[in-house]
A and B are shown apart, each in its own frame.
Chain A
């Protein structure tokens, strides 16, 4: 309680009022003192208390003197409070209501409510530390020693503190996430070892937890792979969105094309590549009119169920025969496909024995397989 200084209560230039609340009582540590009914004002620089009965009685502490604050919930017959922990008073402090105090904290009791909002605003001001950026008159800075050097230090210390706070918050965040990772591992093991009765529903729920947290999913079930409800819905959506584009492109599209098409159309709340793959893996199981196909090369495509790549191979053979021989690029141009998919089709034709290759520095060229046709 010895940190307070008497003040006129007038705000300085650059000092702004943030919030005020009537009916606030101050405690010195745990002790009730005579300041039992006042208006508490929060500015960008200070916490000011003015007696409701005697307006001349007005005191303040600098926000920079606050170490940290806590909330104390209301109880039966007790008002909600904010506990304010303070730095020690500097030696050359201006006069205030108390010369000395054994406590390094005070309590603010909100007898007419308003504690929640006040706490929120006070926390915000403590985080933003606007008093560091907005210089005010000498009187507010008397207890800080030689001015210029000190301000600079406050500036840097302020930034460091902010970084430190950010680091601490991120750390807290990350350590919570870490706990969840551990917990999820032990649950996953139980599921894998088939210990006890985890229902299909519960497994699906668990997978959606993993999905929200971004934890790799070690649990796969036959029916839906590593998919979740979300992926099932997504699969159904994709079936709707992709029908027409697929028809326009001869019934087949690479997953890369699908990724770009879908995300460009969405604009926001985009799909991750993994979301797309997981959804596509479920297309067949959900009996949708599209399917995911993985070629030997690892290239992944979406085809219409009605699309028969093997039949397309027959027409590819015709095209190649007409021209004598074709590279993937030439074939792609002729048929109006992407080079990637053209190559896959020719490779498939080769696998089925219809084409054979001439692999040279000039590129990969395909010829009709005369061994087959002329035997």
Chain B
């Protein structure tokens, strides 16, 4: 019994030593890799995507920690963590208007504006990755697929499948009606009404009783063309208490 314990323990310790050695070698090789490709990772969104996808397939998250090798040597970390800060600021600044729901396009536009002319290029894929990381902070960041794009949720409002589906329906015109829901989704009136009321309550939808025909439920997150209010980076920062 005692011998068995020692044997298994020795193997584990040996493996740990082996890992330490492999880690050193890996670090050296990564430094070499970084010296050649660091600039490109910073400048080229496509390379970033490829790189991240490869890491994902083997179970390595280069963005997990600022202290990771990937972050320290390739500089990927700072790029995404700073992006996270910028995303938070934009969402906070616009929350009063859209209730905490924003299209990926609008978020992209506003973030680029805030970063200024000389900053590195940021792709929508970059934003999505940064947002996925922000989920760890517990304050309700979510990514909802609608139409061909995504809605980014930045408040902890509870949105279930029903709500999401109605948001997707609203994407076409920026608003949705009870009749439309009943026709497209084949729901009962009551179900449609409940969902719309929830969206109103959460501040994600606005009620328009003066629309022709029946009441229109507008999603401010979706109609930015009609309503392009510019916020500056300063305003965004001040939105944080």
Contacts and interface: CB of A to CB of B under 8 A. Distances in A.
A310 interface: no
A361 B58 contact: no
B75 to A, nearest CB: 10
A273 B84 contact: yes
B9 interface: yes
A276 interface: yes
Nearest to B15: A187
A255 B141 CA distance: 13
Interface stretch (A29-37, A40-48, A68-76, A262-270): A262-270
A209 B82 contact: no
A213 B16 contact: no
B60 A213 contact: yes
Given A183-B19, A213-B68, A273 B133 contact: yes
Given A214-B60, A263-B85, A272 B12 contact: no
Interface in A142-178: 166, 169-174, 176-178
Contacts of B80: 272
Nearest to B64: A214
Interface in B118-163: 133-140, 155-156
Contact of B66 (A174, A196, A270): A270
Contact of B11 (A170, A190, A274): A190
A176 B82 CA distance: 29
Given A170-B33, A212-B68, A360-B201, A196 B137 contact: no
Interface string B20-45: 10110111011001001100000000
Contacts of A209: 19-20, 23
A198 B33 contact: no
Interface stretch (A3-11, A293-301, A311-319): A293-301
Contacts of A179: 22
A186 B77 contact: no
Contact of B139 (A176, A256, A269): A256
Interface string A201-222: 0100110010111111000000
B54 A181 contact: no
A197 B5 contact: yes
A104 interface: no
B13 A270 contact: no
A186 B15 contact: yes
Q: Tell me what chain A mostly uses at the interface: helix, strand, loop, or mixed.
A: helix
B238 interface: no
B69 to A, nearest CB: 5
Interface string A227-249: 00010000000000000000001
A257 B240 contact: yes
Contacts of A190: 8, 11-12, 15
A174 B68 CA distance: 15
Given A183-B18, A187-B16, A198-B12, A173 B61 contact: no
5 contacts: A172-B29, A179-B22, A183-B15, A195-B8, A277-B137
Interface of B: 5-13, 15-16, 18-20, 22-23, 25-27, 29-30, 33, 36-37, 50-51, 54-55, 58-71, 77-78, 80-82, 84-85, 88-89, 133-140, 155-156, 197, 200-201, 203, 207, 240-241
Interface of A: 127, 166, 169-174, 176-181, 183-184, 186-187, 190-191, 195-198, 202, 205-206, 209, 211-216, 230, 249, 254-257, 259-260, 263-264, 268-277, 294, 297-300, 337-338, 340, 359-361, 363-364
Given A202-B16, A274-B133, A277-B138, 10 more contacts: A174-B58, A195-B12, A196-B6, A196-B9, A209-B23, A212-B23, A213-B26, A230-B67, A273-B134, A277-B136
The 5 closest A-B pairs by CB, nearest first: A196-B9, A300-B138, A270-B81, A195-B8, A273-B136
